[in-house]
Amino acid sequence: MKFGTNLNEFDIRDYLRQDLMPHFMCPGCGHGIALRALLWAVHELEIEKDKLAIVSGIGCSGRVGGYIDANTYHTTHGRPLAFATGLALARPDLTVIVITGDGDCLAIGGNHFIHACRRNLNMTCLMLNNEVYGMTGGQVSPTTTDSRLTTTTPLGNTEPAFDACALAQAAGAGLVGREVTLQTPALKNLIRDAIAHKGFSFIEAISDCTEVLGRKNDLGSSPEMILRQKAGMRPDSYGNVVEQPFRPNYQQTGILARNERPEYADTYRRTVIDAYNPPS
């Protein structure tokens, strides 16, 4: 079935497996907002469900993909980009989207992430960054802000946080962007641009973990946490980033880099065709 013929009638329930409700996400979790933004973008692009493939790994982010009424694959920890690579090569007719988390993507999956950016295969990677391993006990992750308390940093995190967008840009990703979940229409537009881009697109969605990271660090209620995104990350009227961002490492949002270069699968197929059909 195809939805999206009337862009003014987006209903998220059309894209969800409602028999799996109620969902497992905690009250106030930013992952649900990111899911809405993703499906809103899919709706506007009029992507048929049978042509949509969602690949996810392990963690809170990994569970999100299972709620989408499309072709969904729940893979092993850190490996969704590896599985998605094979899928995108074998089925170029599909729109392949990876939903991953900061630990899944940047820790155990870091090497797969680097080479997915390098290859520039046509797919979109949506990384939901909540700064913590929320599902498995609240351990420190590669993006945990300096001084944050977690179950494995009881005295505060002393490691610098990973800038995933800078890494993606350096590794050659075709499109790189970041947005906060508070700015849901902007996040939707960014995801829509990423899906439409021919090549590897990486979007970092800054998402709050209210129950694990929020409680442990006295970050306030869910509304207080998400309003801190507005206070901390949006530029002022002069274009300057405001002082004291709620996550000091992630001050810029929107499309951060665009790298127009050949898409991997097209180049690979041309190489194979030329090899087996040499000029006479």
Distance CA 162, CA 144 (A): 8
Convert the pLDDT of each residue in 225-257 to its tens digit. Answer: 888 887 555 554 445 554 444 555 566 889 999
* Nearest to 84, CA basis, from 100, 68, 66: 100
Distance CA 113, CA 118 (A): 9
Domain over 29-276 is classified CATH 3.30.930.10:
no
Q: Where are the domains of the chain?
A: 29-276
Distance CA 220, CA 251 (A): 21
Distance CA 163, CA 204 (A): 10
pLDDT at 97: 98
Convert the pLDDT of each residue in 137-193 to its tens digit. Answer: 899 999 999 899 999 999 999 999 999 999 999 999 999 999 999 999 999 999 999
pLDDT at 250: 62
Mean pLDDT in residue range 15-44? 94
pTM assigned to the model: 0.90
* Nearest to 235, CA basis, from 251, 255, 246: 251
